[in-house]
Structure 1
Amino acid sequence: MFVISINELCNEISRYHPNPDISIIKRAFLYASYYHKNQRRLSGEPYINHPLAVAKILTELKADDKTVSAGILHDVVEDTNQSLERISKFFGDEVAFLVDGVTKISNLNVNLEADEKQIENLRKMFVFMARDVRVILIKLSDRLDNMRTISHLPQEKQKRIANETLKIFAPIAHRLGLYNMKTELEDLSFEILQPDAAKYIKEKLQEIIPKSQKFIDHFRHKVEEILKKEEISNFRIENRVKGIYSIWEKIVNQGIDIENIYDIIGFRIIVEDIGDCYRCLGIIHSHFKPIPGKFKDYIAIPKPNGYKSLHTKVIIPGGYKVEFQIRTFKMHEEAEYGIASHWIYKEGSPISESGLKIFSWLRNILETSRESQYYEVRNISEDIYPHEIYVFTPKGDVKILPRGSTVLDFAYSIHTELGSRCTGAKVNGKLQPIDYILKSGDIVQIITSKTQKPKRSWLNFVITQRAKSRIKQFVVKEEKSIAKEIGEETIKKELRKYNLDFQKLVRDGVISKVCTQMKIKSIEDLLISIGMGKISITSFIKTLKKIVEAKDEKPENIQETTQKQQIQNQDELTGDLKGVKTRFALCCSPVYGDESVGYITKGYGIVIHRKDCVQIQNLPQERIIKISQANFPFEAIYIGRVKLFVDYPEIMSEIISNLNKKGYRVKEIISREHNSRFEMEITILVKNKDDIENVIREISSIENTFGVQRI
């Protein structure tokens, strides 16, 4: 009796694959059945049941026909007299490549007594040897079925395999985003390695779940009613129970009882778009009391493996503490299938070949964005999606870099100081320059010099964002230092013409007044701006003269001319703009109630700005006209934007909740770390200027929010 018939397997793959090669799957089944026909598992069942079970797991991951076929054939070369050449002859090079990959990594020696760093290197080597992520998926599916049927093995062998699964395979499944597989591998291993602890957790869960199930069902229906009432459309609510190993880890690591773990029972709310995610968060927090410090925004700042969701923990009626995960359908698909979601077939077309090669843990480059203001999050995709190379340090540590990385990229991947002092490297024992392009398998020993320092020209050949950000950081700092010296020397030289001493003017506070008059933050910024040519020495001297003459009460009628005409001198545009193409400027987002002006473009109509918009000052003033409020639709919905600083991002849940209660809908939130605080930009739908001012007052009243202002 087979665990799954070949027809059921073919039907399963046909549900998601638009045009599978059913014949290759059936031929793989006949081939494997024939050569495994005299083999049995320790349970006594036919051996073919194992490769069929592996293939079934692969279809649950929505693998393609070649991967499913390789899953059926994965043990043929290792356990029978069949060669890889014959697999290639009958099933093609791609299937043979996958089977060969599984065979090779199955023979990898694993020292489970090694420390965590060495274990991590083993995981990386495991991936390096696999070459193709589909090989990893076949091996993980193979291990999952072996763990499900492990009870027939001798006890010592069970413990060795369970330990290997917990240390090597479960973390790899986690990094690929295969959370269900990771949880099952952990729980099965835990039951073998610590049977008493596993039994205790399972018995406790049996006490908690039956008592709570009726209440859970009732509560889920209640949340559904609330969301429908708040006009959230096309959503789904699920509930889940935390894995026993994950529960045990919390008990051990946090020293708490199982009764004090908040997220044993959790709910997932799955919605259409990101805006609905934040709306649902505000709705949940307005109906149930949030637990302080238990909110995580993995949408604004995803986990290193790419996971996105909003997590919050609340107290619900009855005193239960439960977790809500709120995500879009797309995020849910990626959370459920992990890396496999990159080749799920959509609208009849498979994802491209390159999508199969993505290794999720490259996303540790997100750390760079938290460390440097010069790292741009939009460039992350440059490091996530290229083909990878695997380069070794002299000690055997593996560094994973984008293809095309240089010696300098490698040096910066190890440490900033090493990159900054790098003069070259020994690659496989041969001297190479800093711009030498590395390839997989290279062993690299960095050569440094104390006199070396980063140069702007390095930006012409490094490709990783970490290297670019570190070089920019140094170069900008260095250039500012040089500009400061040039600026100070330029001012001193000019002041000598008037018999004035720069240092005396600084001590007397005159230079500070100049900075205030010129709207410059500090004297240092003034020197840098002059040194870089952003401010002319002439404008500095003019401002200084005004301040000195005012102080001496000897005003001089200095005639200054300007080509800019003032906005207030223009005729006001009144009446209906019907027939005139208009649009609102994105830089200042004017709304009903704002004092506004229009810029007459050449052939593109009128762009409406707020009168205080900085950008309008840089436009030809003869094209500026006033705009009447009559040209703003009174009942329209406008975009309002505010920015603020907070000490921790979790406070956003309180802000969203408060705004939601006041009837304001948050459309978008952008978060970035800035000088140990978090800078937030919030886009809100409003009706007029009063609404924006109310929003600013509402946010300002919340503790630990700073510098709330309109953008």
Structure 2
Amino acid sequence: MSTEVQIDEEAEKKAIIREYRRLLRAANVKKGDKDFSLIRKAFDIAREAHNDVRRKSGEAYIFHPLAVARIVAEDMGLGTTSIACALLHDVVEDTDLEIEDIEDLFSEKIARIIDGLTKIEEVFEQGASLQAENFRKIILTLADDVRVILIKLADRLHNMRTLDHMRKDKQLKIASETLYIYAPLAHRLGLYNIKSELEDLALKYKIPSVYKDISTKLQKTKAVRTRFINRFTLPIRRELDKIGIKYEVKSRTKSIYSIWNKMRGKNIPFEEVYDLFAIRVIINTPLDREKADCWKVYSVITDFYQPNPDRLRDWISTPKANGYESLHTTVMSPTGKWVEVQIRSKRMDEIAEKGYAAHWKYKEDSQHEGALDEWISRVREVLESPETNAVDFIDDFKLNLFAKEIFVFTPKGDIKSLPHNATALDFAYEIHTELGNRCVGAKVNQKLVPISHPLDSGDQVQIVTSKAQTPKFEWLDFVVTAKAKSSIKASIREEKRKVGRKGRKMLEATFKELGIEFNDQNLHTLTQIHKISGKLELFYRVGNGSIDPAEIGKLTVHNGFIQQRSKTKKNAKSLEEIVQKTRGKKDPLVLSTNQKQLNYKLSTCCNPIPGDDVVGFITNDGTIYIHRTNCPNVVPIMSNYGYRVVKAKWDKKEAVSFLAGIQMNGFDRTGIVNDITKVISNEMNVSMRSISFDNNDGVFEGKVFVYVNDTSHLKNLQDKLRNVEGVMKVNRIE
């Protein structure tokens, strides 16, 4: 028995050395040089520190930092410092080594990066999410060194690749957090491949059936796609060979997550997603000829195939904020299919694949090298106020990470990049905080517009200000940039403080007059009586007149202390007790169909029915709201309030009806509505709550809300409806 363990250990040692050698090859270092010594030292210390530690899968822990370091080297193209930090990224958190030890053994720079990567152990703000605070710390550190965020993304990618060994509820939480925070960050940093893989892996664990279905269909259609691409590119390749342009042709299949998003957004099946792949022509040309040669290739392609003028995108003249440069066109193939073709240089392709890390390689030549610094300076502006709530911070920041971009001009002709749907007020704050605070309107293309006016690419904007203007709370309803939101909130908070200082003085005077001690206990009692969150809110409400200090005279006072009349029920349980009680169960929350055993409600945003994969979310009053795991609202909940989420499953003992919506469309004919209602009522014995049909030039769209027992009952009904003559599509209303 002991010999068998020894053989396993030997095999594992060989596997570790094999992975270490792969890392050295990826890092492109040679034995004996300075870079090799640094990586070797980091590997030896990490291996020693994690000795005898195993991951959930049972493998030695050292495999994880080795894998993260390889992602950093191969997929991001980062250097030796980053590789060493990736190897050491968990040692301070999980072992006896301290940050000071890292600084002594390596350098102050490596220690600072490791510190940024070390997770936070306690929640900083009451009610805030641990993940939100952790993310905020990473972004704060990003202002010092961008490598912190890049290594963190590599760490998250490897964790997603090895998520199989986690519990189902943990998988859902980590997948949601990945979609909410890490995928958009990878997108913003130009790491297209990593962003796509993170999204695909998140979908794999959130909705496994959808992931498997699309993955299988992609595999089955691969040979057909390859034949089509070879035939399509043949005349282009011949012509490029003739004119002497050095090139490489690649094809990029759309990610599974992108395909699912398109299917869901346009309510179409897999077979109707026309842009499953794009063809990429990468040319090897000097920097000063890149633009001209890319347009030359465009000319060759459009000589053979008719382009769609509405789908031409020139990201070479105006690169995206994440540094992406490319020329995109969509052309009609001989088989009647639209095909997207991307034309770019080798340099542009490397930046598209490896993001900002590749920018550093081309830094001396790149005219767009300031884009990353500009983005980091925007992050710093968002972080100016230390009081920003962590969850609000993520929501504001995420808005700008996801946003598509528009390009607008200042009166002097300078170009500014803003998120899609940005308003005149966003533009004012983009120029300067004070300009935003004093903004009363704008002139867009010489026409006077309100501050809420949404801007379009190409607009020229001049801001109109007034000294009498101050930021209003309702401005938050129409601004979209994180800078505008944080500036408005900071200004409103400052105004609140001024009013609060006035309210405090008024309260002190009233307390003195009534012989009441001005202390924390009395102030806390007043906040409970008025049901408000804290002392600052109390002072503010007194200051703005919504609480009259004279009313305090009507309260019972004993020995200088205010007596609280209304007492809370002894049986009332705190949220923490409810959470602990519910989460403490080994089995998931069982949803009884009579809904009397537990205080839970089915969320109206996604209308879950038995058979759906579901999770529960505990609100402040103890009610448990049940969501489908693929509900869009679950992503932010899982990411920000993971500690309130509980596993849930259906009790299948009883057959009870649940409301579900079905959407249909097809070609109208006489009697089609009658045939559809016959299927629902007579064949399937299903009760309807409502039915509506709309006809437009012979094409109908119908919606019907029915009561079904579970997902299989609903699927049977959908299958029957698809067989009705004239009905083309039948989908569940999400």
1:64 to 73, 79, 103: 79
Distance apart, 1:21 and its partner CA: 2.2
- Listed as ranges, the matches of 1:149-548 within 5 Å are 149-229=162-242, 231-271=243-283, 272=285, 273-291=290-308, 293-344=310-361, 359=375, 369-370=407-408, 372-377=410-415, 407-408=433-434, 411=437, 420-421=465-466, 444-445=490-491
Check the 8 A contact 1:344/1:350 in 2, yes or no: no
Check the 8 A contact 1:17/1:64 in 2, yes or no: no
Structure-2 separation of matches of 1:39 and 1:106: 20
Match of 2:251, SS state, is strand
Distance apart, 1:5 and its partner CA: 3.5
AA matched with 1:37: N
Structure-1 separation of matches of 2:128 and 2:165: 25
Match of 1:54, SS state, is helix
Change (3 A) 1:153 1:176: same
Structure-2 separation of matches of 1:277 and 1:173: 27
AA matched with 1:290: P
Structure-1 separation of matches of 2:440 and 2:25: 49
Distance apart, 1:278 and its partner CA: 1.4
Change (3 A) 1:415 1:344: farther
User: 1:98 aligns to what?
Assistant: 113
Change (3 A) 1:442 1:292: closer
Distance apart, 1:140 and its partner CA: 0.3
Structure-1 separation of matches of 2:186 and 2:195: 5
Check the 8 A contact 2:78/2:357 in 1, yes or no: yes
Show CA shifts across 1:627-683 (max 9, x none).
Answer: xxxxxxxxxxxxxxxxxxxxxxxxxxxxxxxxxxxxxxxxxxxxxxxxxxxxxxxxx
User: 1:78 aligns to what?
Assistant: 93
Distance apart, 1:236 and its partner CA: 1.8
User: 1:586 aligns to what?
Assistant: none
User: 1:565 aligns to what?
Assistant: none
Change (3 A) 1:369 1:68: same
What's the TM-score, normalizing by structure 1? 0.51
AA matched with 2:85: A
Change (3 A) 1:367 1:136: closer
Structure-2 separation of matches of 1:351 and 1:69: 30
Change (3 A) 1:360 1:106: farther
Match of 1:305, SS state, is coil
User: 1:46 aligns to what?
Assistant: 60
Structure-1 separation of matches of 2:92 and 2:80: 19
Change (3 A) 1:304 1:356: closer
Specify every segment of 5 or more residues in structure 1 that has no aligned partner in the other structure, as ranges.
384-397, 427-439, 449-711
Structure-1 separation of matches of 2:440 and 2:38: 46
User: 2:24 aligns to what?
Assistant: 10
Distance apart, 1:99 and its partner CA: 0.5
Check the 8 A contact 1:42/1:152 in 2, yes or no: yes
Structure-2 separation of matches of 1:141 and 1:112: 29
Distance apart, 1:199 and its partner CA: 1.4
Distance apart, 1:182 and its partner CA: 0.1
Q: CA RMSD in A?
A: 4.6
Match of 1:306, SS state, is coil
Show CA shifts across 1:298-338 (max 9, x none).
Answer: 22333343322121122223334321011122221211111
Distance apart, 1:180 and its partner CA: 0.2
Q: Which moved more, 1:142-151 or 1:355-364?
A: 355-364
Structure-1 separation of matches of 2:90 and 2:109: 16
Change (3 A) 1:17 1:97: farther
- Listed as ranges, the matches of 1:542-621 within 5 Å are none
Distance apart, 1:3 and its partner CA: 8.0
Match of 2:491, SS state, is strand
User: 2:104 aligns to what?
Assistant: 89
Change (3 A) 1:263 1:147: same
Structure-1 separation of matches of 2:127 and 2:295: 44
Show CA shifts across 1:250-276 (max 9, x none).
Answer: 111122332332321211112221111
Match of 1:2, SS state, is helix
Change (3 A) 1:239 1:224: same
Check the 8 A contact 2:116/2:137 in 1, yes or no: no
Distance apart, 1:283 and its partner CA: 1.8
Specify every segment of 5 or more residues in structure 2 that has no aligned partner in the other structure, as ranges.
1-14, 380-399, 419-425, 443-450, 452-462, 472-485, 496-734
Structure-2 separation of matches of 1:170 and 1:16: 34
Match of 1:87, SS state, is helix
Change (3 A) 1:192 1:367: closer
Structure-2 separation of matches of 1:4 and 1:287: 49
Check the 8 A contact 1:134/1:356 in 2, yes or no: no
User: 1:128 aligns to what?
Assistant: 140
Check the 8 A contact 2:440/2:465 in 1, yes or no: no
Check the 8 A contact 2:437/2:488 in 1, yes or no: no
Show CA shifts across 1:503-539 (max 9, x none).
Answer: xxxxxxxxxxxxxxxxxxxxxxxxxxxxxxxxxxxxx
Check the 8 A contact 1:176/1:359 in 2, yes or no: no
Check the 8 A contact 1:408/1:419 in 2, yes or no: no
Q: Which has the larger radius of gyration?
A: 1
Structure-1 separation of matches of 2:201 and 2:139: 23
User: 2:665 aligns to what?
Assistant: none
Check the 8 A contact 1:408/1:422 in 2, yes or no: no
Structure-2 separation of matches of 1:297 and 1:287: 20
User: 1:31 aligns to what?
Assistant: 45
Change (3 A) 1:250 1:441: closer
Check the 8 A contact 2:42/2:88 in 1, yes or no: yes
Match of 2:245, SS state, is coil
Q: Which moved more, 1:338-347 or 1:295-304?
A: 338-347
User: 2:542 aligns to what?
Assistant: none
Structure-2 separation of matches of 1:358 and 1:178: 18
Structure-2 separation of matches of 1:354 and 1:333: 18
AA matched with 1:217: N
Show CA shifts across 1:536-560 (max 9, x none).
Answer: xxxxxxxxxxxxxxxxxxxxxxxxx
Distance apart, 1:4 and its partner CA: 4.9
Change (3 A) 1:369 1:170: closer
Match of 1:128, SS state, is helix
Structure-1 separation of matches of 2:204 and 2:335: 32
Distance apart, 1:209 and its partner CA: 1.2
Distance apart, 1:126 and its partner CA: 4.5
Check the 8 A contact 2:437/2:470 in 1, yes or no: no
Check the 8 A contact 1:179/1:338 in 2, yes or no: yes
Change (3 A) 1:174 1:110: farther
Match of 2:361, SS state, is coil
Change (3 A) 1:285 1:10: same
